[in-house]
Structure 1
Amino acid sequence: MTEKPRAADQGSTGSTPGGSGPAEQAAGDGPRVVIRNNRKIGKTEEAPAAADAGTDAPAEGLVEEGEVVVDEIEVEATSVSGPPVVDAPAQPAEEAVAPAAPLGAELEALRAELDERTRDLQRVSAEYANYRKRVDRDRALVQEQATGSVLAALLPILDDLDRAREHGDLVGPFGTVAEQLTTALGKFGLTPFGEQGDPFDPTRHEAVAHQTSADVDAPTCVQVMRRGYLLGERLLRPALVAVADPE
């Protein structure tokens, strides 16, 4: 029993008239669609005759499978410039809020660093202010000590001028020079103290003699042997005095 040639086989060889040959099929770039057709062949009266003749015939109830070739379909795709636009899926609310956490942590870190730098700047500013105050105080102290040293060296000259004044020798040009010298030394903060009748102050007076007197109610300087001097508020030299105590 010979097998009946299929239509697809005929189309593939290119012998079928009106069909597309291999050259035409190769020229197309579109997809090839093949439709298989199953059809049931019923019982006919020619079946015995075909059997007697020795020809191939399909048995009763058999299904002959036919293959129908459809012409190639050329699919045209509309060209679109650029990559295809695909809508991104909407992200849930949790993912949208998630980046805020690292930003908040970074902001807190920056604030902490800013506070630390501010405290460092305040500490440095306070240290610098204290340093300036200490330097100014030391400078003033050194200057006062230097001035005090120079004035202390001139105090014996002032004592001689005081004795000359008591004896009435400061007259004429010599008296004028003595007054100018006293005024010039006063501009540096030199202040004399120690006069007869002043209350006795052990922090400023040095008592070299003591006596009693009914004319005083408290220890009093009754005689000044050498005047004392102050440099500003600093005691440069105490005064030598005789003190009278009440009886």
Structure 2
Amino acid sequence: MARGETMSQQDEQPPRVVIRDKRRIDPTSGAARVPAEQEPISARPAQGDPRETVPEQGEQMSEQFSETPADLVDEPVGGVVVDDATRQLAERTEDLQRVTAEYANYRRRVERDRVLVVDQAAERFAGQLFPIVDDIERARDHGDLTGAFKVVADRVLGLLEGLGVEAFGAPGDPFDPALHEAVLHDTSPEVSEPTATTVLRPGFRRGDRVLRTAMVGVTDPESPAPAAAEPASADAPADEQPGAGPAAG
């Protein structure tokens, strides 16, 4: 009876589980391991060696939970070891540089468009004030720019000055087709070049941009400068050259 009970207890014992560590890197020392098939026979543990049957406490985890899986091991590329984290860092750095350059270009475009919109609005507003300025100048010529009207006129002219708009066109200025619009024409010996002698309407410009040309009367020189006489050709005979008299007898 005791013998039967002993055999029953032996049959009920769970089978022994043996865990073999197949990791290529030693988690403790960090050194590479040599596969069992490549390990010399002398270095292999003898049958029944406790190293094979009783693994250490830190080695009792499965291969899928290894601290250094095989797919994350550094791989040499061009003689330099590059891991996955380094490659991702390089890619993210390139993305950041590209986004930074695109944002800088966007800011420049926005600033350029903003300046353009402001300039266009200022020019449109100034163009609406030009007829009022013409009336002010006519009143000034007739001596009517006095009292409250003069105060209003000064404020209007101050608006143009604040927008950076300046008037041009004064009697005696050389005629420039890009700045002047000629509506009258005469000649005079007192000028040596086409000159705007009469200003019927002043012009306005903002910086290098002409907003309105000046309406002027142009005076040209009365007689243009004579053309220089062409020298006599050296191949012409002496008797045909000017000033040559008949040969002495």
Interval containing the TM-score (normalised by the shorter chain): 0.5 to 0.7
For residues 234 and 84 of structure 1, what CA distance do their matches in structure 2 show? 89
For residues 195 and 214 of structure 2, what CA distance do their matches in structure 1 show? 13
Alpha-carbon offset, residue 84 of structure 1: 9.7
Q: Is the 8 A contact 2:74 2:83 kept in 1?
A: no
Cross-structure match for 1:4 = none
For residues 84 and 55 of structure 2, what CA distance do their matches in structure 1 show? 43
For residues 97 and 90 of structure 2, what CA distance do their matches in structure 1 show? 10
Aligned residues: percent identity? 49
Greater gyration radius: 1
Alpha-carbon offset, residue 161 of structure 1: 0.4
Residue 245 of structure 1: SS of its match in structure 2? strand
Alpha-carbon offset, residue 239 of structure 1: 0.8
Say whether residues 1:233 and 2:205 are aligned partners.
Answer: no
Alpha-carbon offset, residue 109 of structure 1: 5.9
Q: CA RMSD in A?
A: 2.7
Aligned residues: 152
Say whether residues 1:186 and 2:161 are aligned partners.
Answer: yes
- Distance change in 2, residues 1:186/1:102 (3 Å): same
For residues 89 and 208 of structure 2, what CA distance do their matches in structure 1 show? 47
Cross-structure match for 2:74 = 102
Correspondent of 1:169 among 144, 152, 155? 144
**Residue by residue, what CA displacement relative to the aligned partner does 1:174-195 show, whole Å, maximum 9, x if unpaired?**
2222112211321011211111
Cross-structure match for 1:33 = none
**Residue by residue, what CA displacement relative to the aligned partner does 1:4-26 show, whole Å, maximum 9, x if unpaired?**
xxxxxxxxxxxxxxxxxxxxxxx
Q: What TM-score do you get using the length of structure 2 for normalisation?
A: 0.54
Alpha-carbon offset, residue 245 of structure 1: 2.1
Alpha-carbon offset, residue 219 of structure 1: 1.9
Correspondent of 1:126 among 85, 101, 120? 101
Cross-structure match for 1:206 = 181
For residues 97 and 55 of structure 2, what CA distance do their matches in structure 1 show? 60
Q: Could you tell me which amino acid in structure 2 is paired with residue 226 of structure 1? A: R
Structure with higher RCO (Cα < 8 A, 6+ apart): 1
Q: Could you tell me which amino acid in structure 2 is paired with residue 128 of structure 1? A: Y
- Distance change in 2, residues 1:217/1:116 (3 Å): farther
For residues 84 and 180 of structure 2, what CA distance do their matches in structure 1 show? 67
For residues 189 and 204 of structure 2, what CA distance do their matches in structure 1 show? 30
**Residue by residue, what CA displacement relative to the aligned partner does 1:89-132 show, whole Å, maximum 9, x if unpaired?**
xxxxxxxxxxxx83444616655554443333223222221211
For residues 84 and 182 of structure 1, what CA distance do their matches in structure 2 show? 98
For residues 109 and 203 of structure 1, what CA distance do their matches in structure 2 show? 66
Runs of 4+ in 1 over 6 A off after TM superposition: none
For residues 160 and 140 of structure 2, what CA distance do their matches in structure 1 show? 18
Residue 217 of structure 1: SS of its match in structure 2? coil
For residues 108 and 217 of structure 1, what CA distance do their matches in structure 2 show? 83
Q: Which moved more, 1:160-169 or 1:146-155?
A: 146-155
**Residue by residue, what CA displacement relative to the aligned partner does 1:41-99 show, whole Å, maximum 9, x if unpaired?**
xxxxxxxxxxxxxxxxxxxxxxxxxxxxxxxxxxxxxxxxxx699xxxxxxxxxxxxxx
- Distance change in 2, residues 1:210/1:108 (3 Å): farther
For residues 208 and 162 of structure 1, what CA distance do their matches in structure 2 show? 19
Q: Could you tell me which amino acid in structure 2 is paired with residue 150 of structure 1? A: F
For residues 201 and 187 of structure 2, what CA distance do their matches in structure 1 show? 21
**Residue by residue, what CA displacement relative to the aligned partner does 1:143-168 show, whole Å, maximum 9, x if unpaired?**
21122112211110110000110111
Unaligned runs of 5+ in 1: 1-82, 86-100
